[in-house]
Amino acid sequence: CGTGRINKFNHLEIGGCDAVELAKEFGTPLYVMDENHIRENCRLYRDSLNNLHENSEVIYAGKAFLTMEMCKLIEEEGLSLDVVSGGELYTAIKSGFPSKRIYFHGNNKSYAELEMAAEYGVGRIVVDNFYELELLRDVAKKYQGKKIKILLRLTPGIEAHTHDYIKTGQLDSKFGFGMENGHAFMAVENALSIKGLKLMGFHCHIGSQIFEDEPFKDAAKIMIQFAKIVNERYDFRTREIDFGGGFGIRYTEKDKPLAVKNYIEVLVESVKEACKKHNMPIPKILIEPGRAIVGEAGTTLYTIGSIKNIPGVRKYVSVDGGMSDNIRPALYGAEYSAVIANKAGCPREEIVSIAGKCCESGDMLIWDINLPKIMPGDILAVFTTGAYHYSMASNYNMMPKPAVVFVKNKTARLVVRRQTYEDLLSNEVFMPNSKNISL
């Protein structure tokens, strides 16, 4: 799983860089992102989609991993960008990302965020609910002359997560306009009635880390059928349909995602088939992969510290990070594969469990993994940590966030510096001798 090879010193190598040297140079915990791997993924998604349907676009879901350097990479690879907050939008704008290629998501965008989006002229606002439409009515008034292009987010009644896939009414979702209860049609009517808004089409996102093709087939059928009805009922032309992200990747050998081409083929063919059935033109097809672009390109390096052996029970091996840099095992029961970076080619000879250093028993990164004999000071490399790791990192236990390096062709460059203790206190307002101020 993940990225990397073994060099002549029996060390893990990522992007041509010796992982042990990276740990020495930049310290640990360290997020290492293989730049070529990310770029290859961008091209694979872009080309696979484009080859099957020219009128298409791949939008990278920035929530998976976002820095200004990442925005630049995405820009260079010709992808668009999905942002979900004022903060992500700010990051994109500061990096010089073309605003027309930004898609703004979220189920509770504030007036200030929507204003910011209008001010910068983002490409699309993906409207989630009726309250947002009302806010946009005011924003549109203020920005007269600037047509605000929108998509409406719908809940097509499909929920797919990893191995499970259910078709339900799925009215009970915090996201989007329900199709079941007619809200989706009401939203279309509202959107079409608001001067200053231009409805371009529809969006759905059916889940994350999906391994099957059936949910995508169904999403295509349902969305196209909806578009057909809207086109006829409102004398409208659905120009775009965005099918969200969710394409699965490999964390351990248990994970068996489809090949990228298969996911895309299934989606595009199903859209085409449904359009044929309903005798309607094929709209622009958009997808929003996040995890699939960066997940497997990331590796986290840790230094091993204390080792506690409870004979006959378990050997706990602690690392210098944990749930503060990877919340996924604690939050989702996520599983990972790993190697000892300085013993990468050595035989695996003991089963250990990898513990984080945060102050709670639930902070375990990997249960029962077979590794070579471990010593304090060894470097552990945990694979597939490129998506939802840096972006979900916290300062729990006042742990400074790790640095991020991009590696490529034997060179490493720092993209985010490690937080310092001073950074941790930088927002505190602390006046040792101050008196309380009554308000």
Just list the catalytic residues. 359
Annotated binding site for substrate: 291, 328, 332, 360, 388
Contact with ligand LLP (CB under 6 A) among 226, 247, 302, 383: 247
Site for ligand LLP in 40-59 (CB under 6 A): none
Please report the sign of the dihedral spanned by the C-alpha atoms of residue 130, residue 131, residue 134, residue 138: negative
Q: Is 109 in the site for ligand LLP (CB under 6 A)?
A: no
Q: Which two tokens stand for residue 196?
A: 């200053």
Question: Contact 251/188 with Cβ under 8 angstroms?
Answer: no
- DSSP 3-state helix, strand, coil percentages of the chain (rounded to 5)? 35, 25, 40
Q: Which stretch binds ligand LLP (CB under 6 A): 109-117, 127-135, 241-249, 366-374?
A: 241-249
Nearer to ligand LLP, 135 or 393 (CB): 393
Helix (H, G, I), strand (E, B) or coil at 381: strand
Nearer to ligand LLP, 91 or 208 (CB): 208
Q: Which of 290, 349, 301, 284 is nearest to 23 (CA)?
A: 301
DSSP class per residue in 196-253: TEEEEEEE---EEEE--SHHHHHHHHHHHHHHHHHHHHTT----EEE----B---SST
Distance CA 209, CA 245 (A): 9
Nearer to ligand LLP, 64 or 89 (CB): 64
Tell me, residue by residue from 280 to 309, as one string, x for binding to ligand LLP by CB under 6 A and - for no binding: --------xxxxx-----------------
Q: Is 61 in the site for ligand LLP (CB under 6 A)?
A: yes
Nearer to ligand LLP, 265 or 288 (CB): 288
Question: Contact 406/416 with Cβ under 8 angstroms?
Answer: no
Nearer to ligand LLP, 196 or 289 (CB): 289
Minimal distance, residue 295 CB to ligand LLP, in Å: 8
Q: Is 104 in the site for ligand LLP (CB under 6 A)?
A: no
Task: Quickly tell me which residue has 């249960």 as its tokens.
Answer: 367
Question: Contact 28/300 with Cβ under 8 angstroms?
Answer: no
Q: Which amino acid is at 201?
A: G
Task: Quickly tell me which residue has 């929530």 as its tokens.
Answer: 63
Minimal distance, residue 156 CB to ligand LLP, in Å: 13
Minimal distance, residue 18 CB to ligand LLP, in Å: 29
Q: Is 205 in the site for ligand LLP (CB under 6 A)?
A: yes
Residues of this chain that bind ligand LLP (CB under 6 A): 61, 64, 82, 105, 205, 208-209, 244-247, 288-292, 328, 388
